[in-house]
Structure 1
Amino acid sequence: MIFESFYKLEDNIKQNIYLRGLIHNAPVKQRPARNSSREPKAKSIKYYLTTATVSTRVCKKFFIDTFQISDARIYKVSSSSQPSACIDRKGHREPANKIDVTRVKEHIQSFPSYRSYYTLSDAPNRRYLNPDLTIRKMYQLYVEKCGEDGTEPVNEKMCYYVFSFNLHFKPPAKDTCQFCDSLQNILTFSENYEEKRKADIDKKLHLRKAAQSRTAMNSDKISAGENRCANIRLRESSSFSKIKHFCRLLQTKHVCL
Structure 2
Amino acid sequence: MGSVTKNKWLKYLFLKKYAPLAPYLPETQRMSPQAFWTLLRKYRHVIVKPVWGSRGRGVIQVSHLDSDKYAIHYENVKTVIRGRKNIYRYIRNKIGSADYMVQRRITRPTINECPFDMRVIVQRKRKSAGWVVTGKVVKVAGKGYIVSNNTRSKGQLLRFESGIQRSSIKHLSVSALESKINRVSILSAKRLMAFFPEHRIYGLDIATDQQGHVSIIEANLYPAMSHFLKLKDSAMYQRILSYKRG
The bucket for the TM-score relative to the shorter chain is under 0.3
* TM-score normalized with structure 2 length: 0.20
**Over alpha carbons, which structure has the higher Rg?**
1
Structure in which a larger fraction of residues adopt strand: 2
Higher relative contact order (CA 8 A, sep 6+): 2
* TM-score normalized with structure 1 length: 0.19
